[in-house]
């Protein structure tokens, strides 16, 4: 099965550098890499172009104008360029375990999407990794907040694999699905502006189409580089969009991936 890795980013080339290093270090490489760029400066483009010279994997820089936090639209633009059957979403501050891609594909199955876990790195270890450009992270290293999530185990991953239709803990920083399922719900809702809930609302429409969630733990591990939290000022408005989808059991959105305009 072919696979695309979609990486969101915005003006943090140092973190994206580590993410791309960990991507090229995968035991199973993605067929294509799409950078969903929400309006970064020229230095991000220069970094991506440098990585294009280091691999035969097709890397696409999907850029849109900087008009505030528009992650939903940015992801849609990137996914619309995907040629592969399967899509793995991560953020541009997630360093990938070497088996990350392999294990997402290993557990992929029809009628499900996969919600992976993230390991929270503290401020100190994050600074060290960024300074040294090191992508090797040990379970025993200091300054890991939720250390259990960093445990890699074939046995535990199979033992604790669970399906559900919960909204709690939805994170597009480590999420995968079949591309056809994304188009079934018309992708992410472009009406979401500002941080928050665009991922939960997308998943709600997957649920309404009968697509269940697989919670994958102890596999497909991704390490989240510490940073200051995003502004929550748009959360109230975005909560209303989510609630509308829940109240009316919406299976698709009116302004999604099929309504993209060329930018």
Give dist(CA 210, CA 249) in Å, integer: 11
* pTM assigned to the model: 0.96
Angle of the 123-132 helix axis to the 13-24 helix axis, nearest 10: 70
pLDDT in the model for residue 234: 82
User: pLDDT exceeding 70 applies to what percent of the chain?
Assistant: 99
Q: Compute the average pLDDT of residues 1-12.
A: 98
Give dist(CA 242, CA 214) in Å, integer: 21
Residues spanned by the domain of 50: 3-259
CATH for 101: 3.90.550.10
Q: Tell me the pLDDT tens digit for each residue of 123-154.
A: 999 999 999 999 999 999 999 999 999 999 99
Domains in the chain, number: 1
End-to-end, the C-alpha distance of the chain in Å comes to 31
Tracing tokens 């401020």 back to the chain, one arrives at 123
Which string of DSSP letters, residue by residue, matches 216-262? E-SSS-EEEPP-PPPP-TTHHHHHHHHHHHHHTT-SS-SSSGGG---
Given pLDDT bands bounded at 50, 70 and 90, which one contains residue 235?
confident
Give dist(CA 171, CA 213) in Å, integer: 12
Q: Which of 7, 15, 46 is nearest to 224 (CA)?
A: 15
Give dist(CA 69, CA 177) in Å, integer: 23
Q: Tell me the pLDDT tens digit for each residue of 190-220.
A: 999 998 899 999 999 999 999 999 999 999 9
Burial pattern 77-95, b for ≥16 Cβ within 10 A else e, equals bbbbebebebbbbbbbbbb
Does the pLDDT at position 229 exceed 90? Answer: no
């Amino acid at each position: 099965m072919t696979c695309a890795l979609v990486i969101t980013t915005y003006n943090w080339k140092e973190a994206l550098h580590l993410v791309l290093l960990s991507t090229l270090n995968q035991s199973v490489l993605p067929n294509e890499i799409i950078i969903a760029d929400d309006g970064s400066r020229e230095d991000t483009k220069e970094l991506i172009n440098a990585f294009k010279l280091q691999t035969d994997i097709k890397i696409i820089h999907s850029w849109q104008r900087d008009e505030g936090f528009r992650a939903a639209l940015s992801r849609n633009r990137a996914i619309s360029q995907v040629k592969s059957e399967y899509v793995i979403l991560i953020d541009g501050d997630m360093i990938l375990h070497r088996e990350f891609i392999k294990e997402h594909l290993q557990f992929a199955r029809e009628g499900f999407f996969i919600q992976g876990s993230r390991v929270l790195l503290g401020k100190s270890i994050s600074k060290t990794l960024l300074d040294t450009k090191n992508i090797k992270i040990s379970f025993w290293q200091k300054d890991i907040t939720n250390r259990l999530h960093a445990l890699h185990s074939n046995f535990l991953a199979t033992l604790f694999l669970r399906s559900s239709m919960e909204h709690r803990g939805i994170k597009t920083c480590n999420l995968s699905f079949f591309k056809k399922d994304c188009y079934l719900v018309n992708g992410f809702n472009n009406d979401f502006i500002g941080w928050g809930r665009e991922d939960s609302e997308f998943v709600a429409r997957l649920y309404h189409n009968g697509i269940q969630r697989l919670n994958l733990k102890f596999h497909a591990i991704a390490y989240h580089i510490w940073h200051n939290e995003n502004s929550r000022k748009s959360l109230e408005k975005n909560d209303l969009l989510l609630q509308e989808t829940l109240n009316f059991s919406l299976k698709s959105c009116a302004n999604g991936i099929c309504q993209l305009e060329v930018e």
